[in-house]
C-alpha cells in the first residue's frame, strides 16, 4: 500500500530564507507525486506535480520539487520565502496503475504548516 | 466556469440527524471524489466516482453514502450523523490529462456534529 510521510508538522522560516518542506513516499512502484497548498479557510490548490521525465519540477509561486527515486523523496523548495507563502502544504501521491478507475485517488501526507516571520 | 462548488459552507448537526452535502462541477469532469480533512490527519478519501452511475469506496467510507446520477453532481449523504464525523469536507473533480488526473478542489464544507 502507498503512504506519504511529511517530516515536520510545523516549519517556521524568516522572510527571504530558504523554504524546504520534506516529503517521502512508500510505494512498490514510483507513483505520481503532487504538492498542494491550502490557505486558511480555503480549498486546495495544485502547486506542482511529477509524472515522468525531468526530475526537477517547477510550479507556481516560485516553488519547485525534485523527485529522487533512490531516496523515495519529493521535497518542496523555494529559494526565498515571502509572507504570502504562509499556508499549509500537502504532499500527495496517486498510483500509476489504474485499478478500476482508482488512479485519480490521492493519498495525502498529514501536512506541514509553514509560518513566515518578518 | 464556476469550477467546483460546495454547499453549505457551514453546518451544525445533532447526533443522529441526516443531511446531504452538495457538490457540483461545470467542467464536464468524469472523475469526482469526496475527502475529509481532520487536524493532523491530512485528507482522507471517502468515496469516489469515475462517471455517472459508478461509485466506489475510498479509505474511510463508513457512515457515508454517495450516488452519481449526472456528470455534474456528486452529493455526499450522512445517514445518521455522529460526533466523529465532525470535519471539513472537500469535493474534488478531474479529467484525465495526458498522463494523470489533475484534481480541482471545492472550497469545503465545515461540519460540526454535537
CB contact under 8 A, A103 and B41: no
Nearest to A94 among B4, B35, B101 (CB): B101
pLDDT digits (tens, 9 = 90+) for A12-59: 999 999 999 999 999 888 889 999 999 988 899 999 999 888 899 999
Range A74-84 average pLDDT: 97
Chain A residues inside the 8 Å CB shell of B47:
none
CB contact under 8 A, A42 and B108: yes
Provide the grid cell at B30.
Answer: 468524469
pLDDT digits (tens, 9 = 90+) for A101-117: 677 889 999 999 999 99
b or e along B8-31 (b: 16 or more beta carbons within 10 Å of the residue's beta carbon)? eeebebeeeeebebbbbbeeebbb
Contact (Cβ atoms closer than 8 angstroms) between residue A118 and residue A81: no
CB contact under 8 A, B40 and A108: no
Nearest to B41 among A41, A102, A110 (CB): A110
CA–CA gap between residue B14 and residue B89 (Å, rounded): 17
Residue with C-alpha cell 455517472?
Answer: B52
Position A100 scores a pLDDT of 66
Please name which of A118, A115, A100, A113 lies closest in space to residue A38, comparing C-alpha atoms: A113
Share of chain B above pLDDT 70, in %: 97
Amino acid at each position: 500500500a502507498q503512504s506519504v510521510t511529511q517530516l515536520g508538522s510545523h516549519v517556521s522560516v524568516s522572510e527571504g530564507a530558504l523554504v524546504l518542506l520534506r516529503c517521502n513516499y512508500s510505494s512498490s512502484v514510483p507513483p505520481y507525486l503532487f504538492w498542494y497548498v491550502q490557505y486558511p479557510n480555503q480549498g486546495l490548490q495544485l502547486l506542482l506535480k511529477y509524472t515522468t521525465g525531468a526530475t526537477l519540477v517547477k510550479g507556481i509561486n516560485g516553488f519547485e520539487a525534485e523527485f529522487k527515486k533512490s531516496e523515495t523523496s519529493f521535497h518542496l523548495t523555494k529559494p526565498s520565502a515571502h509572507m504570502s507563502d504562509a499556508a499549509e502544504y500537502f504532499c500527495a501521491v496517486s498510483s500509476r496503475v489504474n485499478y478500476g478507475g482508482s488512479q485519480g485517488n490521492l493519498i495525502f501526507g498529514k501536512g506541514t504548516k509553514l509560518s513566515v516571520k518578518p | 466556469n464556476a469550477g467546483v462548488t460546495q454547499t453549505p459552507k457551514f453546518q451544525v448537526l445533532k447526533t443522529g440527524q441526516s443531511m446531504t452535502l452538495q457538490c457540483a462541477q461545470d467542467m464536464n469532469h468524469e472523475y469526482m471524489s469526496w475527502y475529509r480533512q481532520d487536524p493532523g490527519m491530512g485528507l482522507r478519501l471517502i468515496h469516489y466516482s469515475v462517471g455517472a452511475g459508478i461509485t466506489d469506496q475510498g479509505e474511510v467510507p463508513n457512515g457515508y453514502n454517495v450516488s452519481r446520477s449526472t456528470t455534474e453532481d456528486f452529493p455526499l449523504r450522512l445517514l445518521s450523523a455522529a460526533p466523529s464525523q465532525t470535519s471539513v469536507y472537500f469535493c474534488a473533480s478531474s479529467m484525465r490529462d495526458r498522463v494523470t488526473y489533475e484534481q480541482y478542489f471545492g472550497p469545503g464544507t465545515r461540519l460540526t456534529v454535537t
